[in-house]
Chains A and B, each alone.
Chain A
């Protein structure tokens, strides 16, 4: 596949800025805040909103989306040793990992009455995943979840979003020193769902955080995974897969803030698109602050466009305020599964549908293997197959 063959209507822009002042921060129309009133109602031309069809947010951005009690059903299945609490909005652990950066996140923060706090005590190593099921009931809801790992604890968390509805949520990950957290967030919504979320991870000293975002469903999904470091020696891996179908809008906006020295980050997102007006947006912001000596970071976004009519906007942005780093790089490419590839595979006896499957499976394979949760991996492969079947 010629990686330079960018489909019509897509942009693949990238920049490396060496700036005295952070453009990542100044590009936002308002500074981070817990108060929704600090954010003007977006009109769509702001940098952080310019790719998002506001009219499909069902009022999450302008205060007209009114939540109903139990608008989503949240069930937590946790192994022994894990504490699951329902707390009020005033709990000190809420918002500790990060502050809302846009109006929808602030709206969610301001509107929630109850939040779930899941705690894995220090030195507790779980052998089974914590499973959180978030099921939409067709209503509007705001949510907040906190997952806290004590020092040297290890856990895998699977958050599974299904059903339909309108949800704005914040998720905080507090990762203690030397702890290891893997989170798989699956957006397997029905086709009408709208989901906007900000994920904040605060990575402790020598801790490691792995986030896997899997987005298939929904009418509009806009997620904002963010990482900051509490100390040195931390590692963050942010992986993502999306399969964007006809008329779907999937937007992933990442920020890794290297605010402390000697931490690493690795970002890899891959998406396949098919169908008229399928739209995927990927924004990868990596900020290496002046204090962050010894940083090692790499970010990658790959898109595979399977049919005409789909659009990708991919914008990696690496901002470096110190030269004393171990490494920093980024890559973005959007390719097309084209007629020549199809011809080549078919000329070897492989039927068209299978040729397509072979290419898409291959495209996602290395990321699927990164998940490390077998039942999620299998479900994902089945899901990819089903998406492909639907297209033929």
Chain B
């Protein structure tokens, strides 16, 4: 069973000629089939955790370890991490002009699966996934994220999640900016992947709203660059009622 282990992770960024520590000792274990919600106020370092796991060059790991089934993730390049089974659904997906969605998806699937998917089954697979996400077929011919609405970008991220079937899926504020219908469609997509039991999910969110659609096994409160409290789904209810105030007092958050 695939396991992502994060141990005492410290991460800093360079800003205004100064080094700023954002993550201050994160410990977390995510196993295949589990869903962990990471909740926290703005600036608590949630997105930094997501991007650090994916290998974004902006972030410097100063200490700690991240392993996937014992393999050192931090030693891998960004594309190696993806091929090892780490997927990051981004909060702000990037526009790539000149590259069509269909070309992008096929190139990505070829890289992840290690061989080009058979054309006939691939076309069907993409078409069905797109239908389930209420995406118009014309989407495939558009350039990656170019001119996409916020909701279209998120659906496109979840489409990739469904097609790439990662071991560990990190969803960075996938719910932000979505109306209720889009949130439901996107959540259903995530749930289909979860139901396979093959994917461990790290759901990063500011709001409890998405947890009505995606039921987590574990809830962690993120504050001040580390996990401040962990619990079961009931912790989300507590946050819904009381907010993050208890965790942000005393200046623990950024």
Contacts and interface: CB of A to CB of B under 8 A. Distances in A.
A1 interface: yes
Contacts of B78: 343, 346-347
B83 A349 contact: yes
Interface in B52-80: 54-57, 77-79
Contacts of A335: 97
B108 interface: yes
Interface in B89-103: 90, 93-100, 103
Contacts of B112: 348-349
Contact of A350 (B88, B97, B111, B143): B111
- Contact size class for B? 20 to 34
Interface in A339-392: 339-341, 343-352, 354, 358-365
B29 interface: no
A346 B79 contact: yes
Interface residues of A, number: 25
A40 B81 CA distance: 62
Contacts of A347: 54-55, 78-79, 81-82, 87-88, 90
Helix, strand, loop or mixed for chain B's interface? mixed
Contact of A1 (B95, B108, B111, B160): B95
Contacts of A354: 107, 111
A354 B96 CA distance: 14
A103 B225 CA distance: 67
A363 B160 CA distance: 22
Given A339-B57, A358-B103, A344 B108 contact: no
A350 B82 CA distance: 8
B164 A348 contact: yes
Nearest to A339: B57
A360 B96 CA distance: 11
Interface in B148-182: 160, 164
A343 B97 contact: no
Interface string A292-303: 000000000000
B104 interface: yes
A1 B79 contact: no
B103 A343 contact: no
Contacts of A1: 95-97
A345 B164 contact: no
Nearest to A338: B94
Given A339-B57, A348-B112, A362 B99 contact: yes
Contacts of A361: 98
A115 to B, nearest CB: 40
Contacts of A343: 54, 56-57, 78, 94
Nearest to B166: A349
Contacts of A2: 95
A341 B94 contact: yes
A341 B98 CA distance: 12
A345 B57 CA distance: 14
A354 B104 CA distance: 11
B100 A362 contact: yes
Contact of A344 (B57, B93, B100, B111): B93
A351 B110 CA distance: 11
For B55, B82, B90, B94, the residue with the greatest tally of chain A CB atoms inside 10 Å of its CB is: B94
B112 to A, nearest CB: 4
A351 B111 contact: yes
A363 B98 contact: yes
Given A347-B88, A348-B82, A359 B94 contact: no
A33 to B, nearest CB: 42
For A2, A344, A352, A360, the residue with the greatest tally of chain B CB atoms inside 10 Å of its CB is: A344
16 contacts: A341-B95, A343-B56, A344-B90, A347-B54, A347-B55, A349-B83, A350-B111, A358-B103, A359-B96, A359-B97, A362-B98, A362-B100, A362-B103, A362-B143, A363-B97, A363-B98
Given A358-B99, A358-B104, 19 more contacts: A1-B95, A335-B97, A343-B78, A344-B90, A344-B94, A344-B96, A344-B144, A345-B108, A346-B79, A349-B83, A349-B108, A349-B111, A350-B82, A354-B111, A359-B97, A359-B98, A362-B98, A362-B103, A364-B98
Interface of B: 54-57, 77-79, 81-83, 87-88, 90, 93-100, 103-104, 107-108, 111-112, 143-144, 160, 164
Interface of A: 1-2, 335, 339-341, 343-352, 354, 358-365
